[in-house]
Structure 1
Amino acid sequence: MKLKILLSDKGPSIIKKWRDVILKTYPDDTQRFLRKEKDQFSNPVGHIIGKDIEALYNELISEGDTDKILSCLENIIRIRAVQDFKPSQAIAFVIQLKDIIRQELGGKSPINGFSSELQEFENRIDDIALLAFDIYSQCRQKIYEMRVNDVKNQVGNFLKRADLTLEIPEHEPDL
């Protein structure tokens, strides 16, 4: 039996555990809400996490479309980038997939000759983790740029109201 087939068969269990790993990073009340509320409009975070974790896992095991993987990852990481997570906390769920898979496979992977396939799959997960970090960094950079622009606008408006602005001519006068 190929590793890909085994991972596909165990997919629902792995996806559930992977989703739980993400949800456990939230406070208890938030966890309950994210698990309980199924409506995508009442619980957009829970909906995106559930939908995109499943799609991401399926694309990973099928060695699917890189754009689809990137899209799923971006949706999840964007949420985590605007929340109070450190970078390591925000992307740890990607690395934790390796532990979940090893638990699900139990002793089957090395015994049945899956060690090289498993290593290759784990390398793919590591690559996804690096992508996740890039996405997280880009999102945080965008947030910081927005904050700086907001402060600049506030200061500019304050100076205008206080009549402390100075117009700078477009052209230097000829001397």
Structure 2
Amino acid sequence: MLMIQDLLKKNKAAILERWFHLILETYPANTAAMMRKDKNQFTNPVGTTLSREIEVLFKNLCEGSQNEKCQSSLDSILKIRSVQDFSPSKAVGFIFLLKRAIGETLKNEMCKGAVMDEWLEFQSKIDDLALQAFDIYMDCREKICEIRV
């Protein structure tokens, strides 16, 4: 997995920027525009949380350590997305957008055989993260239901 890890680290900023913009596309246009422009955590808590936490998720995926740090970051993001107007698949679907962000950013390098094999293995880690995210999303929704009762 060394080749793909090197490519991911080298292109980290571009991948994260693309992933963030893809996530913003899941929001209404005016909301996405505001979140894209405003970098202040007090006037744009959702956008800054997304930006900060996807970076932590990406770092941990690259290091192969899907642990409490991923759990905490997913929890921060999914607490937000679970109260927004998203279906469960849309709320958790932002994880899969990382595959698209990486694919678009590294499309020229992906053609190489060894990189492709490693990329397929890395995609499996993203899938595992999505499953973890769904569990966290369901916990958040259960808490919301308990609060309502």
TM-score by length of 1: 0.80
Q: How many angstroms apart in 2 are the aligned matches of 1:103 and 1:32?
A: 22
1:8 matched to 2:9: yes
1:115 matched to 2:116: yes
Runs of 4+ in structure 1 off by over 3 angstroms are: none
Question: Does the aligned pair in 1 maintain the 2:66–2:129 contact within 8 Å?
Answer: no
Q: Which moved more, 1:105-114 or 1:124-133?
A: 105-114
1:60 matched to 2:61: yes
The alpha carbon displacement at 1:56 in A equals: 1.0
Identity %: 41
Decide which structure has the larger Cα Rg and report it. Answer: 1
In structure 2, what is the equivalent of residue 161 of structure 1? none
RMSD in angstroms over aligned alpha carbons? 1.4
The alpha carbon displacement at 1:16 in A equals: 0.5
Q: How many angstroms apart in 1 are the aligned matches of 2:138 and 2:38?
A: 30
Q: How many angstroms apart in 2 are the aligned matches of 1:63 and 1:28?
A: 34
For residues 1-175 of structure 1, the aligned pairs below 5 Å read 2-64=3-65, 66-148=67-149
**SS at 1:92 equivalent:** helix
The code of the aligned residue for 1:97 comes to L
Question: Does the aligned pair in 1 maintain the 2:92–2:133 contact within 8 Å?
Answer: yes
The code of the aligned residue for 1:24 comes to E
The code of the aligned residue for 2:128 comes to D
Q: How many angstroms apart in 2 are the aligned matches of 1:109 and 1:45?
A: 32
**How many residues get paired?**
148
The alpha carbon displacement at 1:125 in A equals: 0.3
TM-score by length of 2: 0.93
Deviations 1:117-158 (A, max 9, x none): 11111110000000111011110111011111xxxxxxxxxx
- Structure 2 residue runs of 5 or longer lacking an equivalent are none
Q: How many angstroms apart in 2 are the aligned matches of 1:63 and 1:53?
A: 15
- Structure 1 residue runs of 5 or longer lacking an equivalent are 149-175
The alpha carbon displacement at 1:30 in A equals: 0.9
The code of the aligned residue for 1:124 comes to K
The code of the aligned residue for 2:50 comes to I
The alpha carbon displacement at 1:64 in A equals: 2.8
Q: How many angstroms apart in 2 are the aligned matches of 1:21 and 1:102?
A: 13
